Amino acid sequence: MGQDFFSIKYFDKQFIYIDQTQLPLIEEYYTTDNYEQIAVAIEKLCIRGAPAIGISAAYAIALAFKNHNLLDNEYFENVSNRLASTRPTAVNLFWAIEQMKKVYYSLSKNDNVFDNLVNTAISIHNDDITKCNLIAKNGLPIFSNKCTVLTHCNTGKLATGGEGTALAVIKEAYKRNLVELVYVDETRPLLQGGRLTTYELKKEDIPFYMITDSMAAFVMKQKKVDLVIVGADRIAVNGDAANKVGSYNLAVICKYHNIPFYIAAPETTIDKNCKSENDIPIEERNKFEMNRIQNIKFTKSIYSVYNPSFDLIPHNLITGIITDKGLFNEPYNFNV
């Protein structure tokens, strides 16, 4: 069951990633040791998903010192700031950069800078693999009977360093005969559900239907959905969460139809500096993502566009938050 693939990998002092913008039609991997190429890949969504972005940034910082293997604070800060500028919403990015900073500024002139940084990046990657496995296990209690699940965007291998977050829960539940079918929102405007989640589910031989985002409410009204699981790019200490735009819609219609709405994310997605959704920055992206698909125009480029990449889900609409530390329910207080 399942066909092996990966989204990111470190091998022989090189970083390898699949270009997610071309999936599922073209599977193309790129190999680089250039931190700028990795930064651009993150910006262009060739690499995406909050945990994967953080891991990739860590490897990028390390590889910046592959041929510059000495302590150079100005250079380190320039590299770190470049990676930090790629995506503003996913807190995992900033968490990973901070881990790299702690290690770098603990080094002395006799230490091998590159080796220490790359070992830290590998550790961050391995830690995410462990976290994904724990999330999958901790999410099993939400299934009382064999269920039909709806998910949004992509939260599997392509978004993380391991098996995924929300999709890892779905995959683990399917293995245990707890999931019968998955409805996949296409996830406009960049179709991460229609292109990427379907790609992963097909690889795993898990049955699914792809639907447009606007069909979700009607599918719920027809009683075809038992629960919804999505990921998150940042979670406030009170349980408010930011996720791919369209997630708030799902939470609202789940509340109306009395359907459980869950979020799955590693603990590193919880931002202790964010008290509520009011503290979470929302990335706005280029209008060309809205007026074309795969560079094919379907409307006029001169039209004005509002393109927030994420929306905000109030904690009172979230049935439970699944992390590597366990399954949490209201009232959420991640400050303790």
Q: Which helix (H) or strand (E) holds 311?
A: strand 310-313
Q: Looking at the DSSP assignment, which residues form a beta bridge with residue 31?
A: 16
- Tokens 């406030």 correspond to 236
Catalytic residue (one of 127, 128, 185, 233)? 233
Distance between first and last Cα of the chain: 41
**Pick from 236, 148, 158: nearest CA to 190:** 158
Task: Report residue 14: phi and psi, to 5°.
Answer: -135, 150
Q: Is 311 a catalytic residue?
A: no
* Residue 230, token pair as written in the block: 């999505």
* Residue 289, token pair as written in the block: 């993502």
* Residue 42, token pair as written in the block: 């993150």
CA distance 264 to 320: 9
Q: Which helix (H) or strand (E) holds 60?
A: helix 50-63
Query: Catalytic residue numbers?
Result: 233
